[in-house]
Structure 1
Amino acid sequence: MKRIICILSMLLCMAAETVMAARAPVSEATEECLGCHSSIHPGIVEEWQNSRHARITPREALGVTGLARKVSARTVPDYLLPTAVGCAECHTLNAKVHADTFEHNGVSIHLAVSPRDCATCHTEEAVRYSGNLMAHARKNLAANPLYQDLQQQILGRPVRREGKLTFEPPAAETRQSGCFYCHGTRLEVVGMETRDTVLGEMEFPRLSGWPNQGVGRVNTDGSLGSCAACHTRHAFSIEMARKPHTCRECHVGPDVPAYKVYASSKHGNIYAAMNRQWDFSAVPWTVGKDFTAPTCATCHISLVVNTDGQVLARRTHEMSGRLAWRIFGLIYAHPHPMNPDTTRIRNKSGQPLPTDFDGTYAAEYLIDAGEQVRRTETMQAICLGCHSASWVRGHWKRFERTIRETRSDIRAATGIMADIWARGFAKGPDSDDSPFNEAIERTWCDAWLFYANTVRFSAAMAGGGDYSVFADGRYQLSRRIQELNDWLELRNQLFPPTPPIALRGLPEKPYRVQ
């Protein structure tokens, strides 16, 4: 027994030495950070020590050639080359442009690491991400009065006065734990505070909007986004970013039911059964060898090759680069915006929407048919890595048919809602009122925000008949349209127009928040 224990101890020591040998040398500054934080924040330190950043120096990473190279920068500052990418290497970068930079044990550091910092090594990824809808997610929500109105009706505090119900603006913390959890907050220094730490009293900046890792976070250096939204700190794992659970954090539904649809699809079925056998860290990612069914990253982001080494799709961090359609209905599905800053968009009625209420595209702000074809072909190249051309064509035919059908469905629902507004049974945009603050308007909102979206996501992601029909799909969509119509018909019977009036149809006035 003693001999066995001795042998096991030797093996464990050898394993530990192998792990230590695999780690890259650490800078003096990072060594100093680790000296304290390994006991204060052991979870963070251990996570980093198991990361790729801890094992490989930028000099070694720059030496990798071909598709396996993960550092897209052509050069990296000389002082960063010989050591691991550690605490100091990230939290002291670009100190002069970070408003949250402060003196900590004789070193100028900042709390929130930004895409601009990561761009030191991952230049192309940062540039691509900055041209992505996600990078502008906070502004696209916060600076659109229509979306802000909907947010207030959902998150606001209900107050009933003199028989009238209103929703007061939500608290900042409510917004931050609600919509801006994913869309991102604005980080701003609002002062300094003294904290009693295990090492004595220390001064730290107080940040409003913190903590947050939202995709459109506005950082203290002015950059947009958080790489940790997908590559969670401090492992910054490729594997984590490639698994669908990461995307699930924000895309779970019912407004954007991507994860639920994926989980109920054949692809999700294969992933659930077989993913333990897959290699999620391989770069490039080889279809058929490293994985046998796509995840979110396969279709939208990853560098994917076939078993002959031919590139099926190049790595991108511009998530819409392979998408011809924006299937999240606002109010209708539409071609993707040309510019990721969607606050510029105005439909012909002056509303901040990519379509009119009748479904007409705000075409000057959206990609054209030629770009839609290019993006479709880019996506289909990935599908063709596993499927025949006839299979892929058949899938797209169904998907695009679904887009046409759901646009028609929502046109019918919106036409009924417009008649309700025109008869004065509810107050909407033509009355300079919110289109979301009455129960019947919520019924209309459900039709396009939840159910039409689910039908389209199911068609796009092969999500299965049951999910697209009965699980927040066609059944609920047709029911909401019927409810709208019956609601209007009942009021027309109770309050017939005298004399009959011509309904004004869809609203034409620009939307305005009161």
Structure 2
Amino acid sequence: MIHGLKKLGGALALVLMLAGAAFAGKSNCITCHEKVTPNIVKDFLSGEMGKSGSVDCSSCHGTAHQSAKDVAKVTMPTEKTCKECHTKQHDQYASGKHALAWVAMDAMPTNKIQPHAYIQGMKGCGGCHKVGIRDDKSRADGQYGSPCNSCHTRHKFSKAEAKKPEACRTCHMGFDHPQWEMWSNSKHGSIYQMEGDTGRAPTCQTCHMGDGDHNVMTSWGFLALRLPEEDAEWMGYRVTILKGLGVLDPAGKPTGRLELVKAGKVARLTKEEWQASRDKMVGICSKCHSATYAKTQLGNADQMIKEADKLMAEAITIVAGLYEKGIVKPQQGQPAYPDLLTFYDTRTPIEQTLYVMFLEHRMRAFQGAFHMNPDYVTWYGLAELQKDLVEIKAEAASMIRESGHKK
């Protein structure tokens, strides 16, 4: 009993000693911000870095800022700051598609005319695309911060939080990529919601970050385009879509946008690159299903891209015909062809229908297939694509009649 009391007393003394050391070692940052921003301090101290005492505010924010009078001197961390301790995760991230998210922002032709708060203020597309690495000029324009905190939210930076599928839904939801809605209403998502995170149902991280890999690459990429394509019929549809994206000019020759596609890895440009990602996904699926089943399901989803591309290519060709006839006039300096990347800044109702067809309904038709959600494939995807095409045909015929142009 005496031995037990001594052991208990020693443990208590150790706890008190550590608590005293933590109190004695409280930094000026903590002391001040407990009054100024108490919840930030609470978050930090509840996280692993704060608990361990291995990291202080100055580790990420520097030591130049010491009072309310010199707030402008505070250093904002970047992904390079995180790399100092998390090299493996940083390098995986830097080689993957999340790191390239800001390349897509630079590729959008009408971003320069958007309201400042929308892009630089991170209230629109920038709010999610900030997960990408930005250059020094972008950060100087106010686009600061570390992409890492998109998933490991500051100041707790919790690994456990980032491993939950809910961590992904702020960005992967809604109009053009409702992966959250697709997954959460699929059988996989339903099991997760009924049972909790038991490991039985795959989450976003299970499939896209196997073994914690921060690369997050997929076979098809955001645009679901790959080159070369052995299926000649499908390749024909794909050429038309690439023209609509401005990657090829109306004559089918590559444009400067092809370099942006390469830089942003939004398409797969070699057979080997595509196959490597597909093999990796089959391996993940095969942990629960047979390899044959996994390949069949993924192959059927591939074919849904082709079905969507067939409708999409026909619609693009119809609108391109209006340009060819001079019924729709190109903007100065732009080719006489619809530009899908202008999105909601298109100037005619028929092109508005075309961009929604591409960015919303085509995306849902094929993304729903990969996320095992039949309703998204059908009613939010394929059915809407058919509806869009009917409307485009009718609108084009009306525009031709009104112009007096012969069919």
Q: Scaled by the length of structure 1, what TM-score is found?
A: 0.62
Call closer, same or farther: CA 1:449–1:264 in 2, change over 3 Å: same
Deviation at 1:449, TM superposition (A): 0.5
Gaps of 5+ in 1: 1-15, 57-82, 96-100, 153-168, 191-205, 210-216, 220-224, 279-289, 304-314, 338-344, 357-362, 501-514
State how 1:499-510 maps to structure 2 within 5 Å. Answer: none
SS in 1 for 2:257: coil
Structure 1 residue 103, shift from structure 2 partner: 5.5
The answer (yes or no) to whether the contact 1:324–1:373 under 8 Å persists in 2 is yes
**Is 1:89 equivalent to 2:59 in the alignment?**
yes
Q: Which residue of 2 aligns with 1:448?
A: 358
Structure 2 residue matching 1:449: 3-state secondary structure: helix
**Equivalent pair of 1:24/1:54 in contact (CA under 8 Å):** no
* CA drift at 1:27: 9.8
What are structure 2's unaligned runs of at least 5 residues?
1-11, 229-245
Paired positions, count: 359
2:27 paired residue number? 31
**DSSP 3-state at the match of 2:109:** helix
- Could you tell me which amino acid in structure 1 is paired with residue 54 of structure 2? A
185, 202, 214: which one pairs with 1:264? 185
**2:383 and 2:54 mapped to 1: Cα distance?**
55
**2:209 — aligned with what?**
301
Find the counterpart in structure 2 of residue 317 from structure 1.
214
Q: What whole-Å deviation, never above 9, does each CA across 1:303-355 have from its counterpart, x for those lacking one?
A: 1xxxxxxxxxxx321221xx1111x33xxx21399xxxxxxx95434151589
Other-structure match for 2:81 = 117
How far did 1:140 drift?
A: 2.8
Specify the alignment match of 2:195 in structure 1.
274
Question: In 1, distance between residues paired with 2:164 and 2:19?
Answer: 25
Q: Which residue of 2 aligns with 1:173?
A: 117
Secondary structure of the residue aligned to 1:325 is coil
Query: Aligned pair in 2 of structure 1 residues 183, 29: CA closer, same or farther (>3 Å)?
Result: farther
Contact between 1:444 and 1:480, CA under 8 Å: does it hold in 2?
yes
- Paired residue type of 1:401: Q
- How is 1:413-424 mapped onto 2 (pairs within 5 angstroms)? 413-424=315-326
Deviations 1:38-74 (A, max 9, x none): 2322211111222111333xxxxxxxxxxxxxxxxxx
* Closer, same or farther: CA 24–271 of 1 in aligned 2, 3 Å: farther
Quote the offset at 1:293 in angstroms: 1.2
Could you report, residue by residue, the CA deviation over 1:371-415 in whole angstroms, capped at 9, with x for unpaired residues? 212211111211111112232122112111112111212111111
Cα shift at 1:172: 0.8
Q: Looking at secondary structure, tell me which structure has more strand per residue.
A: 1
Pair 1:334-2:225 in alignment: yes
User: CA–CA distance in 2 between the matches of 1:244 and 1:124?
Assistant: 22
CA contact (8 A) 2:60 2:76 kept: no
Q: Percent identity?
A: 25
CA distance in 2, matches of 1:182, 1:18: 45
Task: Show CA shifts across 1:402-458 (max 9, x none).
Answer: 121112121111111111221222224434896622111111111111000011110
Question: Matched residues in 2 for 1:293 and 1:250: separation?
Answer: 21
* 2:109 paired with 1:148: yes
Higher helix fraction (1 or 2): 2
Aligned-partner Cα distance in 1 for 2:16–2:178: 43
| Contact 1:54 1:85 survives alignment (8 Å) | yes
Taking a change above 3 Å as real, the CA distance of residues 25 and 171 of structure 1, as seen in their structure-2 partners, is: farther
Note the C-alpha offset of 1:123. 0.5
The secondary structure found in structure 1 opposite 2:323 is helix
Quickly say closer, same or farther: Cα 1:239–1:257, change in 2 above 3 A: same
Determine if the alignment matches structure 1 residue 398 to structure 2 residue 300.
yes
Aligned twin of 2:335 = 430
DSSP 3-state at the match of 1:324:
coil
Q: Which has the higher contact order (CA 8 A, sep 6+)?
A: 2
Distance 1:46 1:148, change over 3 A: same
Cα distance between partner residues in 1 of 2:397 and 2:69: 73
Equivalent residue of 2:27, what SS? helix
CA distance, structure 2, for counterparts of residue 477 and residue 20 of structure 1:
67
TM-superposition CA deviations, 1:179-210 (whole Å, max 9, x none): 111122969899xxxxxxxxxxxxxxx9752x
